[in-house]
A and B are shown apart, each in its own frame.
Chain A
Amino acid sequence: AQSVAQPEDQVNVAEGNPLTVKCTYSVSGNPYLFWYVQYPNRGLQFLLKYITGDNLVKGSYGFDAEFNKSQTSFHLKKPSALVSDSALYFCAVRVRYSGAGSYQLTFGKGTKLSVIP
Chain B
Amino acid sequence: NAGVTQTPKFRVLKTGQSMTLLCAQDMNHEYMYWYRQDPGMGLRLIHYSVGEGTTAKGEVPDGYNVSRLKKQNFLLGLESAAPSQTSVYFCASSDGYRGGEKLFFGSGTQLSVL
Residues of A within 8 A of B (CB): 9, 32, 34, 36, 41-46, 49, 51, 90, 94, 97, 100, 102-110
Q: How many A-B residue pairs have CB under 8 A?
A: 62
Q: How far is the CB of B2 from chain A (nearest CB, A)?
A: 13
Known: A32-B100, A46-B102, A104-B45. A109 touches B107 (CB 8 A): no
Chain A CB within 10 Å — which of B45, B99, B107 has the most? B99
- B93-109 residues with Cβ-Cβ distance < 8 A to A are 97-100, 102-108
Q: Is the interface of A mostly helix, strand, loop or mixed?
A: strand
Among B14-22, B35-43, B62-70, B74-82, the stretch in contact with A? B35-43
Residues of A within 8 A of B107 (CB): 41-43
**4 cross-chain pairs, A with B, having the tightest CB-CB distances, nearest first:** A43-B105, A103-B99, A94-B99, A46-B102
| Residues on B with beta carbons closer than 8 Å to the beta carbon of A102 | 48, 50, 56, 97
Question: Which residues of B does A touch, CB under 8 Å?
Answer: 4, 33, 35, 40-45, 48, 50, 56, 58-59, 90, 92, 97-100, 102-108
Expressed in whole angstroms, the minimum distance between the Cβ of B107 and any Cβ of chain A is: 5
Which residue on chain A has the smallest CB distance to residue B90? A43
CB within 8 Å for A107 and B42 given contacts A43-B105, A46-B102, A49-B100 = yes
Query: What residues of chain B lie closer than 8 Å to A107, measured between beta carbons?
Result: 35, 42-44
B44–chain A nearest beta-carbon distance, Å: 8
Contact call A32/B4, Cβ cutoff below 8 A: no
Tell me whether B105 and A44 are in contact (CB under 8 A): yes
* Cα distance, A13 to B16, chains bound together (Å): 45
Interface pairs (6), CB distance under 8 Å: A41-B108, A43-B92, A43-B107, A46-B104, A103-B97, A103-B98
**Hey, which chain A residues are within 8 Å of B50, CB to CB?**
100, 102
The docked-state distance in angstroms from the alpha carbon of A43 to that of B35 is: 11
* CB nearest neighbor in A for B35: A107
A42 to B92, CA, bound (A): 12
Q: Check B48–A104 contact: CB distance below 8 A.
A: yes
Q: Name the distance in Å between A10's Cβ and chain B's nearest Cβ.
A: 12
